[in-house]
Amino acid sequence: MSIEFSDTTNNDGILQQVRNLMRVDATQWPTQRVVNSCNNWLDTLTGYAIGADKRFQWDDTNHTKLPIGTTNLVASQSDYSFLTDEQGNSIITLTRIDLLQNDGTTWRKLERFDQADTDEALQQVYASTGQPEYYDKIADNIIRLYPTPNESETAGIKFYFQRTPSYFTATDTTKSPGFSPLLHRGFIVASAYDGALALGLSNLQALSVEIQREERKMITYFSDRNKDDHSVMSAKPFSFR
């Protein structure tokens, strides 16, 4: 079952269990230190979730908006950056780009292009303007359109992405990690380990064993989650012609 960040009634929230596992009080390991450790573990889980399977579009369940956004298509502008979503979360990577067609109602998926896909000078690739057909990821959250747009369109680019998790704050109480409940104990162990390391506690070695167990659990969980999805290898030709 889900574990809340703080539960002073039953003393079984993440905060309370961390201190119990460390055998310390709030003075020795303050709430903000637990928050910092939990957020570091959130980053660890997020990085692994995104990297483990490119076909599984993981997102923190605490986010209240879907990881989809739109931006204006601007005539003669080929480069676009997507740094944050509408709630200020950092965009880690883009997963898909759709373009609004000239009729103003139909959307079309743009094909992915990489600089390594052509032997031509990049300045010669679609040198003239037109309706974009391809995009190149210059960085995780920056793209270049080919050809360069010849028209502007309000909210003409729809982008799909993966982003940073929903972080904890020191005032959180009922908030639970935005991951499967099967992984919630890892937040307790990770924070207790950080505390034992910082304070030089005698149970550091035992907690080291526990955090390795949680890491293995994380790896197993993300490697087995998509049992209804079967990978099929196929070749796809690519050409600018």
120 lies in the same domain as 40: no
Q: By three-state DSSP, how is residue 209 classified?
A: helix
| pLDDT mean over 149-168 | 96
158 lies in the same domain as 172: no
145 lies in the same domain as 219: no
Weakest-pLDDT range from 51-60, 83-92, 102-111, 129-138: 51-60
CB burial class (10 A; 0-12, 13-18, 19+) of residue 224? exposed
* 61 within domain boundaries: no
Q: What is the pTM assigned to this prediction?
A: 0.86
* 236 within domain boundaries: no
180 lies in the same domain as 150: no
135 lies in the same domain as 89: yes
186 lies in the same domain as 110: no
Range of the domain at 213: 14-56+167-224
Q: By three-state DSSP, how is residue 226 classified?
A: coil
Between residues 127 and 186, which one has the greater pLDDT?
Answer: 186
114 lies in the same domain as 157: yes
* 3 within domain boundaries: no
| Percentage of residues of the chain with pLDDT beyond 90 | 79
Q: Which residues are CB-contacts of 10 (< 8 A; sequence separation ≥ 6)?
A: none
| pLDDT mean over 24-36 | 97
Q: What is residue 118's predicted lDDT score, i.e. its pLDDT?
A: 83
Q: What is the mean pLDDT of the chain?
A: 91
Is 108 a residue whose pLDDT tops 90? yes
Q: What is residue 150's predicted lDDT score, i.e. its pLDDT?
A: 94
Q: What is residue 226's predicted lDDT score, i.e. its pLDDT?
A: 56
Q: What is residue 229's predicted lDDT score, i.e. its pLDDT?
A: 53
152 lies in the same domain as 205: no
Q: What is residue 200's predicted lDDT score, i.e. its pLDDT?
A: 96
155 lies in the same domain as 174: no
* 86 within domain boundaries: yes
127 lies in the same domain as 175: no
* 239 within domain boundaries: no
* 62 within domain boundaries: no
* CA angle (68 as vertex; 182, 46 as ends), nearest 5: 30
152 lies in the same domain as 97: yes
| pLDDT mean over 54-75 | 92
First-to-last alpha carbon distance for the chain, in angstroms, is 55
Q: By three-state DSSP, how is residue 159 classified?
A: strand
Final residue belonging to a domain, choices 142, 163, 184: 163
Query: Which among 26, 62, 27 is positioned nearest to 42, based on CA atoms?
Result: 62
Q: What is residue 168's predicted lDDT score, i.e. its pLDDT?
A: 98
46 lies in the same domain as 93: no
pLDDT digits (tens, 9 = 90+) for 31-62: 999 999 999 999 999 999 988 866 778 899 99
Domain total in the chain: 2
* 131 within domain boundaries: yes
